[in-house]
Structure 1
Amino acid sequence: MSHRMQIRVYYEDTDFGGVVYYANYLRFIERARSEWVRELGIDQVAMKEVHGLVFVVRRVVADYLAPGRYDDLLVVETIPKEIGRAKFVVGQVVRRGEERLFEAEVTIAVLSAEGRPARIPAEIRQALSQDAG
């Protein structure tokens, strides 16, 4: 399954030429991942308070394919690809209509309060796994 979220491009998201500033695509996909996790019923605040664990981006491989522009209505699609014991991988695509503007593969790791890799708790792994495939 995949998750979709709409994002409007505002003036603050663009550079001098009216094109989406490259780093803002990372902000867009971060927001979409946060909403996907929330919709799966994963409470990241509780995960930190109860388990002492947080999600962190470990790796991003990104391709900028075409420019987004001021006032575009974009859709960010998040596609779960792999769920491991201490990390998971998602593919993310930003589109304007059918046109692909940006693609990324993002690896998310789980860290303990001490900053060490940790296993994904069973109930969170189950929630992530139900959406994979």
Structure 2
Amino acid sequence: MTHRFSLRVYYEDTDLAGIVYYANYLRFIERARSEWIRSLGVDQKAMKADDGIVFAVRRVEADYLAPAHFDDELEVLTTTEAVTGARIVLRQAVQRGGQDLFVALVTIVAIAETGQPARLPANIRLRVH
């Protein structure tokens, strides 16, 4: 299943050359991940309150393929690559008109409030497969 998240490039997202500043792609894919997990029916606030577990990014492997510009309409596609007991690997692509501009493999881990690794709750593992 692919989750789709639409966004528009604002002036504040660009650099002096008028293209999206490279670090902002990480913000775009973070927003898309938040909406993806919400679309699965996972309440991250409740997960923290009830289970004492939060998500953290462990690794990002990114490729910048083509620039996005001010006022472009973009779409972030998020797909699950792998799920283990304590981590989720996602492929996220930022596209304009179906063309990949930025692609990343993102590893998300579950951690306890103490910062120690934790297992993903079973209901979440089942939803993200």
CA–CA separation in structure 2 for the residues paired with 1:54 and 1:74: 28
User: 3-state DSSP class of the match of 1:74?
Assistant: strand
Number of aligned pairs? 129
CA–CA separation in structure 2 for the residues paired with 1:60 and 1:42: 22
Per-residue deviation, 1:98:
2.0
Per-residue deviation, 1:46:
0.3
Q: Which residue of 1 aligns with 2:88?
A: 88
User: 3-state DSSP class of the match of 2:116?
Assistant: coil
1:8 equivalenced with 2:8 (yes/no): yes
Q: Which residue of 2 aligns with 1:18?
A: 18
TM-score, normalising length: structure 1: 0.96
CA–CA separation in structure 1 for the residues paired with 2:45 and 2:58: 20
List runs of 5+ in structure 1 lacking aligned partners: none
User: 3-state DSSP class of the match of 1:33?
Assistant: helix
Q: Structure 1, residues 53-109: CA drift from partner, whole Å, max 9, x if none?
A: 000000000000000000000000001110100001000000110221000000000
Per-residue deviation, 1:13:
0.3
- The share of aligned pairs that are identical, in percent, is 58
CA–CA separation in structure 2 for the residues paired with 1:47 and 1:98: 34
RMSD (Å) for aligned C-alpha atoms: 0.5
TM-score, normalising length: structure 2: 0.98
Q: Which residue of 2 aligns with 1:71?
A: 71
List runs of 5+ in structure 2 lacking aligned partners: none
Alignment of 1:41-80 (within 5 A): 41-80=41-80
CA–CA separation in structure 1 for the residues paired with 2:88 and 2:38: 16
Per-residue deviation, 1:4:
0.5
CA–CA separation in structure 2 for the residues paired with 1:98 and 1:37: 23
Residue 117 of structure 1 aligns to which amino acid in structure 2? P
Residue 107 of structure 1 aligns to which amino acid in structure 2? T
User: 3-state DSSP class of the match of 1:115?
Assistant: coil
Residue 87 of structure 2 aligns to which amino acid in structure 1? K
Residue 123 of structure 2 aligns to which amino acid in structure 1? E
Runs of 4+ in 1 over 3 A off after TM superposition: none
User: 3-state DSSP class of the match of 1:126?
Assistant: helix
